[in-house]
Amino acid sequence: MRVAIAPTKCLTKIACELLKGDERYHDVVDVTRLTAEQMKAMLERVAIEDVWGIGPNSARFLRNYGITTARDVRDADERWLRKYLTVVGARIQMELKGMSCLLLEVKRPPKQQIICAKSFGREITSQAEQEEAVATYVVRAAEKLREQDSLAGRLTVFLRTNPFDTSAPQYTNEFVIDLTYPTAFTP
């Protein structure tokens, strides 16, 4: 188990990454005790791709402008960063400077929609097989509802034929059931 203590979510994730394979910390690091020089050195070790919240496209874009490390993001011009990485980039920069912008979720908020959508591994040729598959997905959706202590007020079933098989006739349809009383009860 690794433990990282930092003033922001972004710095905590970076500290956790640096703990991997670094024996000198003994799986525990407290970023709040680092000097400015130690913090600078830590951020220089983190590639732009490894900064939490920066995806591959943004990392490629930033590399083209010479921004290759977490330190470079922290020290970049704030207006330029906001212009090209929007408010998300500005928040990441503030987080790297030690100012918390991303709230800590103690409990993940419940989803407003639960979707169990699957492609079948093979062609379904009978109505019985189709009904069994749909029932299986409804069971899974009900399990997810119960896991987050939620209830469903509407059930939508959507079916379509294989859109990649252009030689077969195509079919798409859905039906919606508005439940009288919201429930997570499978039957």
Could you tell me the two tokens for 115? Answer: 């979707």
**Which is more confident, 82 or 186?**
82
Question: Considering only CA atoms, which of 24, 168, 7, 169 is closest in space to residue 95?
Answer: 7
Residue 16's pLDDT is what?
82
- Residue 105 pLDDT > 70, yes or no? no
Q: Which long-range contacts (CB under 8 A, 24 or more apart) does 54-63 make?
A: 54/85, 54/89, 54/92, 58/85, 58/89
Residue 73's pLDDT is what?
93
Q: In this structure, what is the dihedral angle of CA atoms 95, 96, 97, 98, given to the nearest 10 degrees?
A: 60
What confidence tens digit (pLDDT) does each residue in 19-44 have? 776 777 777 888 888 888 988 988 99
112 C-beta neighbours (distance < 10 Å), count: 6
Residue with tokens 């079948």: 120
- Residue 176 pLDDT > 70, yes or no? yes
What confidence tens digit (pLDDT) does each residue in 43-65 have? 998 899 888 889 899 999 999 99
- Cite the beta strand spans of the chain per DSSP E: 3-5, 28-30, 152-160, 172-183
Residue 53 near residue 88 (C-beta atoms within 8 A):
yes
Q: Coil, strand, or helix at residue 56? A: helix
**CA 119 to chain CA mean position, Å:** 22
Domains of the chain and any CATH numbers: 3-96 (1.10.150.20), 127-183 (no CATH)
- pLDDT category at 173 given cuts 50, 70, 90 is very high
What confidence tens digit (pLDDT) does each residue in 116-127 have? 777 777 788 888
Q: Cβ contacts of residue 124 below 8 Å, gap of 6+?
A: 130, 133
Question: What integer is the mean pLDDT of 110-134?
Answer: 80
CA distance 60 to 56: 6
- Residue 104 pLDDT > 80, yes or no? no
